[in-house]
């Protein structure tokens, strides 16, 4: 009898050590978390679409081109106007870098708001301050990112909506439909290490409309994309996330400090390039504020991955330089396009909307 129990222990214990994990609200970010993420792109070498039970995803060859730190705070650490709007509907906020890339508009106090509970993790809305005017926007229906407990085989969906009037600019509104399928579990290998994970595939449809008063018309934007996320126990954010919009899949993954980022004062090159106005009608401006002389190549692509124009290749000196491009002269049709910058050994991708 004792030999039988010993035999079963030898068989069963390793099996459970390898079995799928379960994700709950304790595995989501918390106030005070700072999570470092590296960015990469896939040029056809990662098997991110493949999945299964006890599967191994080997992404150890990923090469990061940028890095940032996501910071989470309590809602009580956000502006009091935001606190009033999100009272009871959010208990966590994520801060973002302020920017002033839109001429005549200064955007500060940027936060996304979430509610983490035992039943789900949801995005409740966002808040920005535009030229000193707080604009908190609580979604009419939240975006439920995960239902708990999250285990392999789970399928769920959510539908969220939002709308807000923007003083001096116009109106913004839209909807998002998300369908989640926890379609695999196993071992994920990244440059950061090897982890037991649960894989979640999210099919997302998103429609946003921006009505600009000064132009007298609205700009509808429709996107359909797939998010592949590998979740681990206790990491807060996905250990790896691949976003595939049919053009050039983008990747972010939890990482340690990379030595080639240290000399960049913890900022990525992406923050040193400004593209404005966006949306743009005729003249597009690109401002470079690089920290050292760099060889820069600029190309314009459509969403089918077709190269439309090579906007230039030159040495950018150690100072602020602005370049202007007349898209109307290039006969660029209204739509969404991508500008790809090759700066020394780094790649930066910016999306623009042409009116």
Q: Are 263 and 67 in contact (CB under 8 A)?
A: no
11 in a structural domain: no
7 in a structural domain: no
For residues 306-321, average pLDDT: 76
Kindly report which listed range (72-81, 151-160, 212-221, 231-240) carries the lowest average pLDDT score.
212-221
- Listed residues 233, 259, 285: the one ending a domain: 259
Distance between CA atoms of 46 and 350, rounded to whole angstroms? 22
Is pLDDT at 260 greater than 60 in this prediction?
no
Predicted pLDDT of residue 251: 93
* Bridge partners of residue 336, in order along the sequence: 353
Predicted pLDDT of residue 262: 35
Are 198 and 141 part of one and the same domain?
yes
337 in a structural domain: yes
Kindly report which listed range (15-24, 123-132, 262-271, 324-333) carries the lowest average pLDDT score.
262-271
Number of domains composing the chain: 2
Are 179 and 315 part of one and the same domain?
no
Q: Which domain holds residue 283?
A: 268-354
Predicted pLDDT of residue 102: 56
Banded pLDDT at 265 (limits 50, 70, 90)? very low
Is pLDDT at 7 greater than 50 in this prediction?
no
Q: What is the CATH number of the domain that holds 327?
A: 2.60.40.3080
- Listed residues 208, 239, 259: the one ending a domain: 259
Q: Are 207 and 224 in contact (CB under 8 A)?
A: no
Predicted pLDDT of residue 214: 67
Neighbouring C-beta atoms of residue 125, cutoff 10 Å: 24
Residue with tokens 């081109």: 65
5 in a structural domain: no
**Percentage of residues of the chain with pLDDT beyond 70:** 84
Distance between CA atoms of 144 and 121, rounded to whole angstroms? 6
For residues 74-80, average pLDDT: 96
Are 117 and 171 part of one and the same domain?
yes
DSSP state string for 286-352: EEE--SS-EEEEEEEEETTS-EEEEEEEEEEPSS-EEEEEETTTTTPPSEEEEEEEEETTEEEEEEE
Q: What is the pTM of this model?
A: 0.70
- Listed residues 259, 281, 297: the one ending a domain: 259
């Amino acid at each position: 009898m004792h030999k039988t129990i010993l035999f079963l222990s030898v068989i069963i214990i390793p099996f459970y050590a390898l079995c799928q994990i379960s994700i709950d609200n304790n595995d989501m970010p918390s106030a005070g978390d700072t999570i470092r993420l590296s960015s990469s792109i896939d040029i056809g070498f990662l098997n991110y679409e493949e999945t299964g039970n006890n599967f191994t995803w080997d992404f150890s060859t990923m090469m990061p081109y940028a890095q940032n730190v996501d910071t989470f705070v309590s809602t009580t650490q956000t502006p009091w106007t935001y606190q009033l709007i999100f009272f009871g509907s959010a208990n966590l906020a994520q801060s973002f870098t302020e920017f002033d890339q839109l001429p005549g508009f200064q955007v500060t106090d940027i936060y996304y708001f979430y509610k983490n509970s035992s039943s789900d993790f949801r995005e409740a809305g966002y808040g920005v301050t535009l030229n000193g005017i707080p604009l908190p926007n609580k979604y009419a229906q939240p975006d439920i990112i995960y239902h708990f407990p999250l285990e392999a085989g789970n399928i769920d969906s959510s539908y969220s909506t939002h709308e807000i009037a923007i003083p001096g600019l116009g109106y913004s509104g839209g909807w998002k439909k998300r369908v989640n399928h926890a379609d695999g579990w196993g071992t994920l290998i990244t440059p950061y290490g090897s982890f037991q994970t649960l894989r979640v595939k999210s099919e997302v449809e998103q429609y946003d409309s921006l009505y600009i008063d000064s132009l007298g018309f609205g700009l509808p934007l429709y996107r359909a994309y797939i998010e592949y996320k590998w979740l681990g126990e206790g990491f807060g954010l996905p250990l790896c996330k691949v976003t595939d919009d049919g053009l050039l899949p983008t990747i972010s993954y939890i990482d340690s400090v990379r030595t080639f980022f240290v000399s960049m004062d913890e900022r990525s090159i992406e923050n040193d390039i400004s593209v404005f106005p966006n949306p743009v009608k005729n003249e597009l401006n690109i401002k470079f504020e690089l920290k050292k002389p760099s060889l820069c190549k600029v190309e314009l692509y459509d969403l089918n991955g077709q190269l439309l124009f090579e906007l230039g290749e030159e040495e950018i000196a150690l100072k602020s330089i602005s370049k202007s491009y007349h898209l109307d002269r290039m006969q660029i049709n209204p739509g969404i396009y991508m500008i790809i910058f090759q700066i020394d050994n780094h790649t930066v991708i910016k999306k623009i909307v042409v009116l």
